[in-house]
Structure 1
C-alpha cells in the first residue's frame, strides 16, 4: 500500500502522468477493499473521477471507479444522493459494456441504497431485478444470494414469516467461497449477513435465546473475516440491538466499546452515528438521561444524509425516554414523528412497539379521554403484532396494557390477556421482557399454572440472565 500511495502521489502531482494515475487507482481498488480502507478509497477515487481527468478514463475505468465511489461513500458518509448517482452511472456503463458481473454489483449497491433510505418496496423491486438478471445469465450464486436482500426488505416491511423463508433458503443454499471474492462482490459475507437479519427476525418472532445464539455466530464470523463492514453489520444491526432488547446491558456495553473504536479507526462517520443510537439507548436503559441529547443528535445526523433505516424505532426510543424523564409533551411530539416516518416509508416492523410507546405516553395524562385512547392504542399494537407474527412486541404491548389495567383497578383482566401470551414462549424466560411479565403475573396472583410451571422449569434448567 505504501508503494501504491507513493506512485499515486507521483502520478497526480503536477499532473505528471494522469493516465498512469487513473489506471493505478483502478488497479488499487481491490487492495483498498481487502484492507477495508474505505476513506482512503473514497478520496483516491474522487480524485481519479475529477472532471478534468475525464479524457484519461475508459468506459471500463468509469464503471469500476463509480461503483467503488458509491460503496465507499455509502459506508463512510451515508446514503447521500451522490451514492445513487454513482451506482446508476456505473450501471449505465456496465449495460453499455454488457458486463453482467458489474451490472449485478451495481444493482446490489442500489438495493442497499434503498434499504438505507428506508425505501424497502424499491429495495424489493431491485432484488427482483437482480434475480431476473442472475437467472437469465445462469449465475446461481447471485440468484441464491439475492434472497438476503429480499428477506431484509420483507423484515422491515413487517412480513416476518416470508422474510424467514427467504433468509433460511439463502443460508441453506449458500456455497462458501474459496477466497474473499464474495465479500467484494456482495460487500459482505452473504451468509453471515443473512444470519444476522434472521437473528433479528427470530427475536421478533419470540425466540430470544435462539436469536442471541445466531447473533453470536454472526459476530464470530465477522471477526474471523477481518472485514470492517462485516464487523459493523454484525454489531450495529444484530448483536448489540438484540442484547439491548433482551436487557443484557453488560454484553451491550462490551460490544459498544469495541464498535466505537472500530468506526473511529476507519473514519466511518455514518456507522459512528448508528452506533451512537445504540449507545444512547444503552444510557437510557441504564437510567442516564444524557442518552436523550446523544440520541437526538445521532438521529439528526442520520436523517440529514437521507438515512432512514431503523430511524422510526430509534425515534420511538427517544420518545419513550422523554416520557420516562418527565417531558411527556415532547415525547408525544417525538412519537408522532416516529409513527409518521414508519407509515410513510412502509418500515412498519416496529409499528407495534411505536403504538405501545404512544399508548404509554398518553396514559401518563390523567384525562379520561386520553386513558380510553391509550387503551385503544394498546389493542391496535396487539393486533398488528399478531398480524406480523411478532410475539416479542405482542408481549411488550400486553405487559404494558396489564400494568395500565392494574393501575386503574382492573387487575382481574390481566391474567386472561398476559398469561396466554407468556405461555407461548418456550425459551428466553430469564430475559428482561419475560421476567417483567412473569413478575407482574406473580404479583397479581394470576400467572396461571402454565406460566408458573414454565418459570419453575426455567429455574430448574439453570437459565440465568444478567438483569433477571
Structure 2
C-alpha cells in the first residue's frame, strides 16, 4: 500500500501531525478506503491526515462519509483559499461561468460514473439547452472539476467525492435538489426499463454492463424516491426496473426488500400490470433463496404467473413457471413438477426460441428425475445437452436462462447405473471458480455433493460443503447454510463420527423443515437414522425413517423412495422383524426397477441377499448377480465393489 503516492502522503502527513500509533497490515484496507474517498486530492489528504491523531484511523474513514471534511482547516500559513477544502472549491467555483456552475451542481446528483446521455437527461432543461450542457461539461473537465475516462468508443464522467459533496450542498442551497433528484430517478428508471426490453437481444453482455454501471445511482434513486413525496409517482416503476437489475447482479436481499416495499404501495392503476408482474416475480424468487420457501413466496410467484398469462406475456410466463417449478422442488412437492415443466415446454414452443425449447427440456429432465422417472429424465436431459450451445448462450436476461443440464444429468446417470459417466459430468466443477449466477452455483455444489456421497467419495463431499458454506454466507443465501450443515453432518456420520454428526443433523433438519426446504431433507433424515443406529438408538432411527417415508408418500413419492424403503428394511432386520424387512426390501427393488434406478436396485438387492443368507434361503445371491451383470461401468465405485465382494465370498 505504501508504494502508492496517495497512501505515502497520507502516512507522512499523519506522522508529521503527531500520529504515534503504528500503521499495520490490518490497516491497509482502511487506508485504501480513505485515499479512495479523497480521490488522491493532495489538499484533502493533508487535511484528513492531520486529524488521524485526534480521531483514529477507522473513525477518520467514517467521518469522510459526511461533509465535515469541507470545513477542516489546514496550515494557518497557507493562502486563505487553501486553508480548507471548501475554500479551495469556493475559489474554483468562483472562476467558472454561470452555465458551468448550473451543470456542475446538477451533475452532483449522480452517485457514480455517468455518460454524456445521462448528463444531458439530468442537467438540460428549458433554460439550459443540450448544446450548452455539452459545452459546460467540456469546460468542467478541462478545469478538473469533473474527471473522465474512456469507456470503449465513448467516455464516462464522475465528480470526485469531495467535489460532489460541495456541489450537492450548493444545489440544495439553491432550492433545486428535489427537482434534479426527480430527473435523476426518472433517468435511472427509463434507462433500466429500456435495458429490460432489450435483454433478449444478442448484445446482452454490454447491456448488462451498462445497467450494472447504474447500480450506485439505482440505490440512490430508490432511497430518494421512497424518502421524499416528490418521488411518489416513480416508486413502483423505479423499484420494478431496479429489482430486475438486483437479481441479475445477485443482490437478492436488495431485490427482496425493494420489491416488497413497492408492492405495498401499488395503487389500482398498477394492479395487474407489467410492474406488478415484475415485482411479484422478483419477490417470490428472492424470498426462496434469502429467507424461506414460504406461502408468501408461492403466492407472489402464482400472482405473477396469473398476470403474465392474462397479459399474454409468454417470456414471463415461462420465467414464472420455471420459478414455480424451483419452488416445488425445494418444498418436496414433486407431483407438481412435471405438469409445470410440460406447461413451460408448451410456452417455449409458442415462442419458438431454440434456447427456450432446450431450457424446457432441461426443466423436464430435472422434474422427471425428482418425480422418479429416470429414463424420461435422461432422455430429456440428453436432448437438452444436444442443444447445449443454445443453452449455454442464454444469459440472465433471457426468458429461459436455464444453465447447463450436466449437473442434474450426473445424478440421473448414477441412478441409471452409469457411475463413471456421472463422475465425468461433475468433475469439472471440482476447483472451478464460481459463475455469475450465485444461486445456480449453490445448486451445482449441492447436487454434485450428493453424487460424490453416492459414490462414497467423502473428501469431495466435504470440499463441496466448504465451498457451499462460504458461497452461501457471502451472498446472504441463508437456506443453503442449513443444507451445507446437513452435508457436513452426512460426511461425519459416514466417517464414523456418529455423535457429532447426529447432533449437527439434529440442528440442520429442523431449520430445513422450518424453511419448507424438503429437497435434501429426506436424504439427511436417512443419514440421521444411520447415525442413531450406530449410537445404539435403533428404535429412534426406525421412527425417523418411518416419519420421513410417510411425509414423502403424502407428496406422491420421490426419486429416493427406494433408498428410504431399503434402509428401513435393513433396520427392521436389526430390530428382529424380518417379515417387515423383506416387505420393504422387495418394495424397494420393485420401485427402483419401475423408476429406472439400477443403482438403487443394486443396493436393495444386496440388502435382500444379506437377509436371505441369514434365513438360509436357497441361492440368496441369484438376483444380486443378475442385477450386477446389468452394469457396464463403475466397477471401482463403492457399491459395485461391495456387491462384487458379496458375490465372490466362499459359498456364494
TM-score bracket, shorter-length normalisation: 0.7 to 0.9
**1:95-174 to 2 correspondences below 5 Å:** 95-174=309-388
The equivalences for 1:341-360 within 5 A come to: 341-360=551-570
Matched, 1:378 2:588: no
Residue pair 1:18, 1:56 contacting (<8 A) in 2 also: no
Residue 225 of structure 1 corresponds to which residue in structure 2?
Answer: 435
**Displacement after TM superposition at 1:82 (Å):** 1.1
For residue 374 of structure 1, report the CA deviation from its aligned partner: 1.5
Q: Report deviation, 1:386.
A: 2.2
1:125 Cα deviation (Å)?
1.5
For 1:215, the equivalent position in structure 2 comes to 426
Structure 2 residue aligned with 1:389: 596
Choose which of 71, 76, 100 in structure 1 pairs with 2:285.
71
Q: Does 1:196 align with 2:410?
A: no
For the pair 1:421 / 2:627, whether they are aligned, the reply is yes
- Whether the aligned pair in 2 keeps the contact of 1:196 and 1:218 (CA below 8 Å) is no
Cα drift, residue 240 of structure 1: 0.4
Q: Which moves more between the two structures, 395-404 or 72-81?
A: 395-404
Could you say which residue in structure 2 is the equivalent of 1:398?
605
Q: For structure 1, list consecutive stretches of 5 or more residues without a partner in the other structure.
A: 447-468
Following superposition, which runs of at least 4 residues in structure 1 exceed 4 angstroms of deviation? 55-58, 177-180
Q: Secondary structure at the match of 2:399?
A: helix
Out of 474, 477, 484, the position equivalent to 1:265 is 474
Deviations 1:346-389 (Å, cap 9, x if unpaired)?
233112111111111111124xxx12332332222222222222
**Structure 1 residue 21 displacement after superposition:** 4.0
Counting only pairs closer than 5 Å after superposition, residues 309-388 of structure 1 correspond to structure 2 as 309-366=519-576, 370-388=577-595
TM-score by length of 2: 0.62
- Indicate if the aligned counterparts of 1:219 and 1:239 stay in contact, CA closer than 8 A: no
Name the CA distance, whole Å, in 1 between partners of 2:430 and 2:258.
Answer: 30
Give, in whole Å, the separation in 2 of the partners of 1:384 and 1:20. 56
* CA positional deviation for 1:54: 3.5
Name the larger-Rg structure.
2
2:145 is matched with none
8 Å Cα contact 2:243-2:258 kept in structure 1: no
Residues 1:31 and 2:256 are matched in the alignment: no
Task: Specify which of 420, 424, 430 is matched with residue 636 of structure 2.
Answer: 430
Greater Cα offset, 134-143 or 274-283: 134-143
Residues 1:380 and 1:92: Cα distance change in structure 2 (over 3 Å):
closer
Q: Match of 2:458? A: 249
* Number of residue pairs the alignment of both structures matches: 436
Unaligned runs of 5+ in 2: 1-214
Measured in 2, the distance between the counterparts of 1:45 and 1:348 equals 34
Q: Does 1:285 align with 2:469?
A: no
Q: Distance in 2 between matches of 1:35 and 1:338?
A: 37
What are the superposed Cα offsets for residues 275-334 of structure 1, whole Å, 9 maximum, x if unpaired? 222122111111112222322332222222333324333322222222222111111111
Q: Please give the root-mean-square deviation of Cα atoms over the aligned residues, in Å.
A: 2.5
| Larger mean Cα displacement after TM superposition, 351-360 or 167-176 | 167-176
Question: Secondary structure of the equivalent of 1:393?
Answer: helix
Higher helix share: 1
* Alpha-carbon distance in 2 for matches of 1:92, 1:387: 36
Does the C-alpha gap of structure 1 residues 179 and 144 become closer, same or farther in structure 2, counting only changes over 3 Å? closer
SS at match of 2:390: coil
- Displacement of 1:57: 4.8
- TM-score when normalising by structure 1: 0.85
Q: 2:514 aligns with which of 295, 304, 310?
A: 304
CA distance in 2, matches of 1:94, 1:339: 37
1:176 aligned counterpart, secondary structure: helix
Q: Distance in 1 between matches of 2:527 and 2:397?
A: 33
Query: Retained in 2: the 8 A contact 1:252–1:282?
Result: yes
Deviations 1:5-28 (A, max 9, x none): 233222222445133343332232
1:9 maps to 2:9: no
Q: Deviations along 1:153-195, whole A, 9 cap, x unmatched? A: 2112221111111111122134436865356534541xx1x22
Counterpart-to-counterpart distance in 2, 1:330 and 1:44: 45
Go from structure 1 to structure 2 and tell me whether the alpha carbon gap of 1:178 and 1:285 turns closer, same or farther (over 3 Å shift): closer
Distance in 2 separating the partners of 1:179 and 1:381 = 41
Q: Which gives a bigger RCO, structure 1 or 2 (Cα 8 Å, sep 6+)?
A: 1
Are the equivalent residues in 2 in contact too, given 1:87–1:106 (CA < 8 A)? yes
Quote the offset at 1:68 in angstroms. 1.0
In 2, the alpha carbon distance for the partners of 1:198 and 1:179 equals: 19
